């Protein structure tokens, strides 16, 4: 076993996510830790034994497990700081000295940790004595991970120090996607840093400015012009493009999973946070508009992606025709099923087809994660955030909506089922039977067995859900409106979700939640 311990000496982490400077990065990305080890290696002599240890570490087949307690993010504060990356005269005075230096707004995301110590562990890795010794030396040289204020102490830990694990690599159930180091990372970091050329340029520049030896100065200027005709060599910021999905450890209860739907029982859960606008929160009546705008925002970040991934995200093929199979689905997560429930939307679960290829899933999830903000017009602007806390709100837990893995027999809609067609019968009883049959058919269409009973109603069985007539109707391409209704669906045997049925199932309509046992008690 190999375990690396990281103690954050100030009790906080100061590091930002790779694609936004507005959120702190936690749990620590294994790739960032690897880059800290690489920086320590090159800044302290670049010993060959250390390089061998880094190559061994980047070639481990499995990403590390992580122990990292919850954190509390500090409110983002804008600081105006002097910068060195802008040429030209400045208008800002440096204190009382008549010297000017430009100041620019900067943000420093920071999170305070419940436990100042984190661990990365590789349970099946067995480093040789020289590799372990080199890693111990490297760890002792690391002083920060992230911003310069994020001071750390690193060491090679023992198994007894690690304790329980909080995050495990798991692409299928992933709720967080962290950067990792793969084979070739060290060489790529070297290439981007371009250290040899930078050092050679600096040495020649110093020699070219030294007029104590005119002959040597002239030779240095000539070599500088020949070797670096375009000026200083490029030195690019380090970047990692390989991501690994992480999830909380699964509970080993030995219960086999019940029959499920064509939708993955492990959706990506995203939380909505108000940024600006007239409303404190959105409600279930906004689901259709929200899902449509959200899909548009995701597609705006999908240019250049493989055709198959774009089809899954958009729900249409290259010719614009709807896909026959499952694609990206929106499941609204609302405060319902409680005596004080008010139906407010607290998030959205985004589900990809369970049979999507591993690489395609990663690409699709990156496009989804790029959407950090939604502008909804009169509904205001809303931030989109991943919830990685150990104890998320009850209605943000996927199992509350999917009943995975035990399943549930009794389900009720949270958003109404949009009918595939108009009922042809006129009598009330016949109309109920026909619509019930349509809903039963919608269940089999998503891979479920035929339900034992379907009760069509205008009112949901879940407290806090608005009646069906209050929801906006789904429109057909010809502009006509689809009828819809709430329903209670009962199966002979337990089934798992996500359960979304009817014509609007990919846009959040026909979303069902279990009624059975513990699922209805919270």
- Whether 169 contacts 250, CB under 8 Å: no
What distances in angstroms separate CA 404 from CA 132, 261, 506, one per listed residue? 41, 11, 20
For residue 348, the cross-strand partners are 270, 332
Q: What does the mean pLDDT of the chain come to?
A: 87
**Residues shown for the chain:** 522
- Range of lowest pLDDT (1-5, 64-68, 101-105, 293-297): 101-105
Please state the rounded mean pLDDT for residues 363-368: 88
Nearest to 444 by CA among 284, 262, 216, 300: 262
Q: Render pLDDT for 84-125 as a digit per residue (tens, 0 to 9).
A: 655 445 445 445 454 555 777 776 788 899 999 999 999 999
Nearest to 462 by CA among 393, 401, 420: 401
Whether pLDDT at 519 is above 50: no
**Model confidence over 376-385: pLDDT tens digits?**
999 999 999 8
296 touches 305 (CB < 8 A): no
Q: What is the pLDDT of residues 279-298, one digit of tens each?
A: 999 999 999 999 999 999 99
For the ranges 25-29, 77-81, 185-189, which has the lowest average pLDDT? 77-81
In this predicted structure, what is the pLDDT of residue 218?
86
The pLDDT of 64-74, averaged and rounded, is 89
Percent of the residues in the chain that have a pLDDT greater than 70, as a whole number: 92
Query: Distance from first CA to last CA of the chain, Å, rounded?
Result: 40
Q: Does the pTM of the predicted model rise above 0.85?
A: no
With a cut of 70, say whether residue 133 has pLDDT above it.
yes
pLDDT digits (tens, 9 = 90+) for 167-215: 999 888 887 889 999 999 998 888 877 767 777 888 888 888 888 888 8
pLDDT at position 463 over 70:
yes
The pLDDT of residue 256 is 63
Q: What is the C-alpha to C-alpha distance for residues 214 and 219, in angstroms, rounded to an integer?
A: 9
The CA dihedral of 105, 109, 112, 113, to the nearest 10 degrees, is: -160
DSSP, collapsed to helix, strand or coil, labels residue 218 as helix
pLDDT of 100 reads: 55
The encoded tokens of residue 292 equal 């449509």
Note the Cα 115 to chain centre separation in Å. 23
| Domains and their CATH numbers in the chain | 2-74+109-190+238-247 (3.30.70), 78-107 (no CATH), 195-227 (no CATH), 268-520 (no CATH)
521 pLDDT band, cuts 50/70/90, is: very low
Q: DSSP character for 95?
A: T
Q: Helix 214-227 crosses helix 195-209 at what angle (to 10 degrees)?
A: 150
pLDDT recorded at residue 259: 87
């Amino acid at each position: 076993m190999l375990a690396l311990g990281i103690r954050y000496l100030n009790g906080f982490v100061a590091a930002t996510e790779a694609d936004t400077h507005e959120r702190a990065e936690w749990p620590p990305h294994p790739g960032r830790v690897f880059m800290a080890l690489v920086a320590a290696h090159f800044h302290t002599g670049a010993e060959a034994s250390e390089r061998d240890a880094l190559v061994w570490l980047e070639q481990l087949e499995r990403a590390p497990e992580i122990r990292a307690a919850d954190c509390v993010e500090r409110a983002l504060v804008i600081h105006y700081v002097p910068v060195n990356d802008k040429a030209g005269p400045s208008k800002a005075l440096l204190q009382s000295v008549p010297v000017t230096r430009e100041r620019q707004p900067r943000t420093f995301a920071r999170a305070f940790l419940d436990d100042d110590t984190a661990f990365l562990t590789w349970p099946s890795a067995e480093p040789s004595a020289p590799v372990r010794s080199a890693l111990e030396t490297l760890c002792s040289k690391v002083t920060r991970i992230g911003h310069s204020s994020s001071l750390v102490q690193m060491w090679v830990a023992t198994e007894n120090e690690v304790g329980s694990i909080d995050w495990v690599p798991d692409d299928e159930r992933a709720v967080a996607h962290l950067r990792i180091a793969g084979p070739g990372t060290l060489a790529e970091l070297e290439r981007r840093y371009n250290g040899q050329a930078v050092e050679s340029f600096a040495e020649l520049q110093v020699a070219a400015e030294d007029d104590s030896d005119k002959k040597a100065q002239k030779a240095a200027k000539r070599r500088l012009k020949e070797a670096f005709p375009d000026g200083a060599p490029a030195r690019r910021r380090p970047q990692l493009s390989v991501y690994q999905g992480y999830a909380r450890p699964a509970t080993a209860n030995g219960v086999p999973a019940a029959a499920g739907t064509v939708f993955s029982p492990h959706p990506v859960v995203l939380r909505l946070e108000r940024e600006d606008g007239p409303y404190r929160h959105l409600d279930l009546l906004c689901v259709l508009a929200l899902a449509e705008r959200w899909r548009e925002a995701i597609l705006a970040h999908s240019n250049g992606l493989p055709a198959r991934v774009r089809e899954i995200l958009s729900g249409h093929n290259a010719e614009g025709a709807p896909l026959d199979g499952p694609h990206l689905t929106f499941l609204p997560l609302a405060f319902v099923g409680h005596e004080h429930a008010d139906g407010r939307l607290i998030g959205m679960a985004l589900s990809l087809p369970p049979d999507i290829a591993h690489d395609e899933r990663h690409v699709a999830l990156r496009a989804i994660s790029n959407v950090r903000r939604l502008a909804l017009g009169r509904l205001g602007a809303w931030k989109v955030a991943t919830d990685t806390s150990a104890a998320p709100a009850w209605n943000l837990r996927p199992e509350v909506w999917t009943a995975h893995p035990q399943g549930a027999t009794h389900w009720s809609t949270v958003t109404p089922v949009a009918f595939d067609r108009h009922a042809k019968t006129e009598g009330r009883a016949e109309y109920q039977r026909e619509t019930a049959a349509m809903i039963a058919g919608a269940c089999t269409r998503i891979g479920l067995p035929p339900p034992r009973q379907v009760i069509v109603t205008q009112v949901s069985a879940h407290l806090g859900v608005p009646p069906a007539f209050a929801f906006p109707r789904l429109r057909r391409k010809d502009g006509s409106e689809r009828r819809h209704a709430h329903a209670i669906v009962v199966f002979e045997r337990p089934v798992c979700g996500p359960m979304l049925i009817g014509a609007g199932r990919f846009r959040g309509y026909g979303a069902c939640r279990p009624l059975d046992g513990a699922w209805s008690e919270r």
